[in-house]
């Protein structure tokens, strides 16, 4: 049997051993085994909305810490490139800008906006130069409406991760989303990144932790649907509470949907509300510290602060308090595994099974 195992039968299964949340070597191993081969959100088309746009991104800052560059070339094509000069490793673009090409400020090496090498001063005597290695590395780029994703080590096509979410909420005018930096936040949570995800992946705790949310959500009809690399928690509104005005062709037409809570392995949450989308990116920092980026994309500000998406900061504070308590509890010498509620913790069981799959690869 592999070291990492969670029984596929949730009724028999035990949770991950607490070593996973405490072992520094496993934390490092997860970089290459879990995060490098997983698609990650790196921005939106609003940040590179005209020809010549260059937008630097650090992929999972302080963890993978990979310097990348989004560009839109003169042919209006989008690219995701390494932001590291192929000469001596200098960071090429440090601030968003518009440019005709990319020139390194260290020794003057120049690249096209598609990453191709153009020129290099004082290199006339260098043999077998330039080669393909002198171009900037080109990473896969997946675009869904305004959202842009990339991956460091591609094992699966992006649609396997995103297809079910794209299909379910495809009726929403997501190309009209407007990023609101003023309504976006960064939280630091004193807990392992997986504990934060586990908490998100089950609505079991809602009546015990989130009194205000429980007042607008129909907990009795709260459901979880599992897909290959994602899952959906469907939050139905109680009578009279704010909900989506669903089109007739929606799969959920006739339901009072307060929120679609989509999770994409291993660390992305897409929360769809009538007012827009709150995207949460979970970024490991250390074994016991996690950064969570809350990115707010607005569709209809008149519906903001209503219904299930009405006070996300308060919900976050309640979640953090619980997760940080769990972080303390898993260090107990008396706790190694837990069990799953068959009806309420399918999402957490699914998450643990995927972690085992990736770590055992």
pTM: 0.95
Q: What is the CATH number of domain 43-150?
A: 2.102.10.10
**For residue 1, pLDDT beyond 50:** no
Query: How buried is residue 6: exposed, middle or buried, by Cβ count under 10 Å (0-12/13-18/19+)?
Result: buried
pLDDT tens profile 136-147: 999 999 999 999
Residue 78 near residue 97 (C-beta atoms within 8 A): no
CATH code matching the domain that covers 162-359, chosen among 3.90.380.10, 3.40.50.2020, 3.40.50.300, 3.40.50.12780: 3.90.380.10
Note the pLDDT of residue 361. 87
SS3 (DSSP) at 8: coil
79 contact partners, CB below 8 Å, separation of at least 6: 70, 71, 72, 73, 113, 114, 115, 138, 141
d(C-alpha 142, C-alpha 138), whole Å: 13
In the chain, alpha helices (H): 19-22, 24-30, 158-168, 193-200, 206-209, 211-216, 312-329, 346-359
Q: How do beta strands 289-298 and 178-179 pair? A: antiparallel
Residue 98 near residue 70 (C-beta atoms within 8 A): no
Token digits for 14? 């035990």
Instruction: Give the dihedral of Cα atoms 246, 249, 254, 256; nearest 10 deg.
Output: -30
pLDDT tens profile 64-91: 999 999 999 999 999 999 999 999 999 9
**Confidence bin at 2 (pLDDT 50/70/90):** low
**Confidence bin at 184 (pLDDT 50/70/90):** very high
Which of residues 227 and 221 earns the better pLDDT score?
A: 227
DSSP string, 121-141: TT-TT-SS-S-GGGSPPEEPE
How many angstroms separate the first and last alpha carbons of the chain? 13
Residue 41 near residue 281 (C-beta atoms within 8 A): yes
Domain residue limits, the chain: 43-150, 162-359
């Amino acid at each position: 049997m592999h070291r990492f195992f969670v029984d596929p039968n949730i009724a028999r299964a035990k949770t991950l051993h607490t070593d996973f949340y405490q072992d520094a070597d496993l934390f490092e191993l997860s970089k290459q085994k879990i995060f490098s081969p997983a698609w990650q959100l790196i921005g939106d088309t609003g940040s590179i909305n005209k020809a010549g746009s260059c937008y630097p991104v650090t992929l999972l800052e302080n963890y993978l810490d990979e310097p990348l560059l989004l560009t839109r070339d003169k042919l209006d094509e989008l690219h995701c490139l390494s932001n590291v000069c192929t000469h001596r490793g200098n960071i090429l673009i440090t601030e968003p800008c518009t440019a005709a090409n990319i020139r390194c400020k260290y020794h003057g090496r120049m690249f096209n906006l598609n990453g191709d090498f153009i020129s290099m001063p004082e290199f006339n005597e260098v043999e077998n130069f330039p080669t393909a290695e002198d171009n900037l590395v080109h990473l896969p780029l997946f675009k869904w409406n305004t959202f842009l994703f990339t991956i460091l080590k591609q094992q699966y096509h992006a649609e396997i991760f995103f297809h079910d979410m794209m299909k379910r909420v495809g009726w929403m005018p997501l190309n009209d989303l407007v990023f609101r930096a003023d309504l976006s936040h960064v939280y630091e949570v004193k807990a392992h990144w997986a504990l934060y995800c586990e908490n998100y992946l089950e609505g079991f705790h809602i009546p015990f932790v989130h009194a205000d949310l429980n007042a607008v959500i129909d907990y009795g009809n709260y459901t979880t649907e599992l897909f290959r690399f994602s899952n959906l928690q469907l939050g139905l509104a109680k009578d009279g509470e704010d909900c989506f005005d669903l089109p007739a062709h929606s799969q959920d037409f006739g339901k009072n949907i307060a929120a679609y809570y989509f999770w994409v392995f291993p660390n992305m949450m897409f929360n769809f509300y009538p007012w827009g989308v709150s995207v949460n990116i979970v970024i490991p920092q250390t074994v016991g510290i996690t950064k969570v980026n809350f990115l707010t994309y607005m569709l209809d500000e008149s519906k903001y602060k209503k219904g299930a998406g009405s006070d996300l900061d308060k919900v976050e504070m309640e979640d953090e308090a619980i997760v940080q308590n769990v972080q303390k509890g898993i260090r107990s010498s008396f706790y190694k595994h837990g069990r799953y509620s068959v009806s309420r913790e399918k999402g957490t069981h699914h998450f643990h099974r995927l972690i085992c799959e990736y770590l055992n690869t």
